[in-house]
Chains A and B, each alone.
Chain A
C-alpha cells in the first residue's frame, strides 16, 4: 500500500519552526548574535546568556549555574566570569566578563505586549532561532515548595508498620533526590525536622513544604537502633517527582526550576531548558523579556524586560 503518497502533507521544513521557514528568522536574528552567549558549566552548556552592557555584563538563569562557569561568545571564544551576582527571587544571575566583541541588546517596551504577538528567541545553540507567539496575558506564577525526595505510602499501610509510633517511616527514597544525596535510606524513621519532633507523615510533609528548593533542613532519623543527624538540601519538586504531573511526562525536557518568578510573559516557542537565559525578541530585534523557564510542552516563560532592567539598575 503506497500510504498517502499523493496526500497533501505539509513537509517538515515548511512548518512554523521548520528549516525553510526558519531561514527568514535566522536572517532577522543574525544582527543580534553578538548579544547572545552560551553559558558552560564544566565545559557543558547549561544555559544561554543575554548581553546587557558595553562592559561585559551578561544576564542568565541562576538556578542552572554550577561552580565551573565559562562563557562562549558568538565567535567561539571562551571567557571566565570574574563577577557573579544572583537574584534568587526571580532566578536571574548577572555575570561579568572582559570582552569587547559583545554588543548589548536593544530593550523593547513590554507594557504593550499582547496575546498573538510574534516573538523569536535563540534555541539551544546561540546561532539558531525559533519563532512563536505570546500565548497568555502577563501574570504571576507562584513558586512551588522544595522536595526532599521521599515517599510515604498511604496511612493504612503505614499503620501496619510496627515502629511507626516513633516517627514517620520512609517507604521510598527517590533516586538522586535530596534525601538520597544526604544518605537517607528506605526504612529510616524521621523523628525530628529542624528541632521539631514529628510522628506522622503529614507533619513531615507540612514542615518540608515550608521550604523552597535550595534550602537546607536538619533531620534526626532512626535507622535500626541508631539515631542519626542529617542535613538535606531540598531539590526542585518537579525535577524530583516528574510523574506527579502527567503533563510533564509529555513535555520533553523542562526546566528544573519552573515557577516563582513574579510577573512573567508566556509564549509557545518549543525551547529546551538550555535555551533559558536567552532573549525574548520581537521580529524587530527589540528584547521584551529574558526566557526563564521551559514550563511544559505548550509554555515557555520569560521575565519581562522592565523587571530585568529594574534589577540591572538596582545592582551595583
Chain B
C-alpha cells in the first residue's frame, strides 16, 4: 500500500459521486469507505463513472446488436435496418442471409457492399422497420486511452446465453484499424465496439494470441466508404487485375504523415512537382497515419485516376490533384 497514487477520501469525493448522479453506486461504496478509509481517488471515480455509462447505454446497445449469417455478429445503425458488420462476415454483395435478433427471431437480410481492406461490411434487413438502432461516432473521434465496450456472440449465437459484454480501453486508433483490450473470439466478428456515449466506434475484426490483441474495423473506414458500401460496391482494396496505380515515392514516417525520401524519375509524383522532404498529410481526405492508409489510398486506384493530395512543404500546407501513373518497378517501400 506504500506506493499508491491515492488520496484519502473526503466529503467532497462522496458528494461529487452523488452529485454526478451516482446515487446507487454511491450507496454501494459507502460500505467500502467505512471499511477501507484510506482508499479513494480519481481512478476509482473513473471506473465507477465508466460502469454507470456502460450500464445506462446497455439496453439500447443490446437491442441493436444482432447475429449475422453463419456465426457472425453485427449492429443495426438505422431505423430502416441497415446493419454494420465485418467484410469477412457479410461476404460478397447481394447475397441472401439471415440476421438473428436479440430475442432469437430470424430476419431475412441481403448483403450490401464490403471494403475488404478495413474488413468493413454492410447488410440490409429486408423486413420493414422501424428497427432499434444505435448512433455512430463521428469521424476522427476515437483516441487511444478511451474507454470502450464490446458486444457480440463469441462462439456463435447461443439463445440460453445471449450477448456477451466486455469493457476495456482503446489501445491504438488508426484510419484502418482500432486495437483494444476488450477480448474477442470467433463469432464476435462484425459485432460493435462502443464509446461511453453508446455510439459505434468499431466493428470486431480479428485477434492475435495475447489477450490485449483485439482488432476492430474503425468507424472512420465506414464513414469514408459509406455510399459505396450502401450501394453494394465490392471494394477489394488492392486491384486484382495488376493494373495498380503508382505514385513513385519512397517514404518514411514523420511526426504526422510521411516524409518523401525519394521521388522516382518519370513518376506521377515527379510530374506533379512533389519534392524530397515534402510531407504527405492526406490523400483524398484520408489521413496518412499509417503505411496501410497510404498503400490503400494509392493501391486501390487505377493508373490515370486522380487523387487529391494534401502535403506540407517548409511548414506550409499545400493541396493539389495528381494523376496517378502506371505501375512502375516494384520496390518494397515505394508507391
Interface residues of A (CB under 8 A from B): 1-10, 12, 14-17, 21, 23-24, 27-28, 30-31, 114-118, 131-137, 139-140, 246-247, 250-252, 266, 268, 270, 282-286, 296-299
In whole angstroms, what is the CA distance A27 to B31 when docked? 16
Task: Decide: A250 near B207, CB < 8 A? Known: A6-B255, A8-B172, A31-B35.
Answer: yes
**Chain A, residue nearest B261 (CB):** A1
Q: How far is the CB of A273 from chain B (nearest CB, A)?
A: 14
B154 touches A299 (CB 8 A): yes
Question: Known: A116-B58, A285-B35. Contact between A252 and B211, CB under 8 A?
Answer: yes
Query: Which residues on the A side are within 8 Å of B211 (C-beta)?
Result: 252, 270, 297
Residue among B29, B171, B183, B252 with max Cβ neighbours from chain A (10 Å): B183
| CB within 8 Å for A4 and B154 given contacts A16-B168, A30-B1 | no
In the complex, how many angstroms separate the beta carbon of A193 from the nearest chain B beta carbon?
31
Asked if B253 contacts A1 (CB within 8 A), the reply is yes
Confirm or deny: B162 has a beta carbon within 8 angstroms of a beta carbon on chain A: yes
B contact face: mostly helix, strand, loop, or mixed? loop
Interchain CB contact under 8 A, B167 and A268: yes
Contact between A118 and B1, CB atoms less than 8 A apart: no
- Tell me which residues from 135 to 175 in chain B have a Cβ below 8 Å from any Cβ of chain A: 143-145, 149, 154-155, 160-174
Contact check, B36 vs A17: say whether CB atoms are below 8 A apart.
no
Q: Provide the residues of chain A in CB contact with B265, threshold 8 Å.
A: none
Query: A27 with B184: in contact, given A10-B170, A296-B155 (CB under 8 Å)?
Result: no
Q: List 30 A-B contacts (CB under 8 A).
A: A1-B333, A2-B252, A5-B253, A6-B256, A8-B172, A8-B173, A9-B144, A10-B172, A14-B169, A15-B171, A16-B181, A24-B41, A27-B6, A27-B38, A28-B39, A30-B1, A115-B58, A116-B55, A117-B55, A132-B167, A133-B166, A135-B166, A137-B162, A139-B160, A251-B185, A252-B209, A268-B164, A283-B32, A283-B44, A298-B164
Instruction: Give the total of B residues in contact with A, Cβ under 8 Å.
Output: 62
Residues of A within 8 A of B47 (CB): 118, 131, 283
Question: A8-B173, A10-B144 are contacts. A133–B165 as well, Cβ < 8 Å?
Answer: yes
Question: Would you call the interface of chain A mostly helix, strand, loop, or mixed?
Answer: loop
- CB-CB under 8 A for A117 and B51, given A268-B183, A297-B183, A298-B154: yes
- Give CA–CA (A28, B164) in the complex, Å: 27
B54 interface hit (Cβ, 8 Å): yes
Can you name the residue of chain A whose Cβ is closest to the Cβ of B42? A24
Give 16 new A-B contacts, CB below 8 A, not counting A14-B145, A135-B165: A8-B144, A8-B172, A15-B181, A17-B181, A24-B6, A24-B41, A27-B6, A131-B47, A132-B167, A251-B185, A252-B209, A283-B29, A284-B32, A297-B154, A297-B185, A297-B207
Q: Which residues of B contact A136 (CB under 8 A)?
A: 161-165
Residues of A within 8 A of B44 (CB): 24, 283
B12 CB–A CB distance under 8 Å:
no
- B11: CB under 8 A from chain A? no
Chain A nearest Cβ from B16, distance in angstroms: 17
Q: How far is the CA of A266 from the CA of B165 in the complex (A)?
A: 10
- B4 adjacent to chain A (CB < 8 Å): yes
CA–CA, A78 and B163, complex, Å: 43
The residues of A that contact B20 with a CB separation of less than 8 Å are none
Residues of A within 8 A of B209 (CB): 250, 252
Instruction: Judge whether B183 and A133 touch: CB under 8 Å.
Output: no
Shortest C-beta distance, B36 to chain A (Å), equals 6
B266: Cβ under 8 A from any A Cβ: no
- The residues of B that contact A14 with a CB separation of less than 8 Å are 145, 169
Interface residues of B in 49-85 (CB under 8 A from A): 51, 54-55, 58
- Residues on A with C-beta less than 8 A from B168 are 15-16
Taking the complex as formed, is B130 at the interface, i.e. its CB lies under 8 A from any CB of chain A?
A: no
Which of A8, A131, A252, A286 is close to B143, meaning CB atoms less than 8 Å apart? Answer: A8
B4 (CB) vs chain A CBs: closest residue: A27
Q: Which residue of A lies closest to B155 (CB)?
A: A247
In angstroms, Cα B55 to Cα A133, docked, is 11
Smallest CB separation, A106 vs chain B (Å): 9
B278 contacts A by Cβ under 8 Å: no
* A9-B55 CB under 8 A given contacts A1-B253, A136-B165, A296-B185: no
Which 3 A-B residue pairs are closest in the complex by CB-CB distance?
A8-B144, A116-B55, A284-B32
- Among residues of B, the one whose C-beta sits closest to the C-beta of A135 is B165
A38: min CB distance to chain B, Å: 21
Asked if B275 lies at the interface with its beta carbon under 8 angstroms from chain A, I say no
Taking CB atoms, residues of chain B closer than 8 Å to A286 are 31
Instruction: Say yes or no: is B212 at the interface (Cβ < 8 Å to chain A).
Output: yes
> Of A10, A118, A282, A284, which is in contact with the most chain B CB atoms at under 10 Å from its CB?
A10
- Determine the distance from Cα of A80 to Cα of B67 in the docked complex, in whole angstroms: 50
Q: How far is the CB of B214 from chain A (nearest CB, A)?
A: 9
Bound form: Cα–Cα A189–B43 in Å: 63
A302 to chain B, nearest CB (A): 15
Smallest CB gap from B166: residue in A? A268
Is A135's CB under 8 angstroms from B164's CB?
yes
Per-residue contact bits, chain B 218-251, to A (CB 8 Å; 1 contact, 0 not): 0000000000000000000000000000000000
The interface centre, meaning the residue of A17, A31, A116, A268 with most chain B CB atoms within 10 A of its CB, is A116
Bound-complex Cα distance A116 to B333 (A) = 45
Neighbour of B185 across the interface among A4, A7, A250, CB < 8 A = A250
Check A4 against B164 for contact (C-beta < 8 Å): no
Does residue B119 face the partner (Cβ distance < 8 Å to A)? no
> Which residues of the partner chain A approach B212 to less than 8 Å between Cβ atoms?
12, 15
A21, A268, A298 — which one has the most chain B CB atoms within 10 A of its CB? A298
Q: How far is the CB of B174 from chain A (nearest CB, A)?
A: 8
Closest to A5 in B: B253
Q: How distant is the Cα of A139 from the Cα of B55 in the complex, in angstroms?
A: 19
Most chain B beta-carbon contacts within 10 A, residue among A118, A252, A266, A270: A118
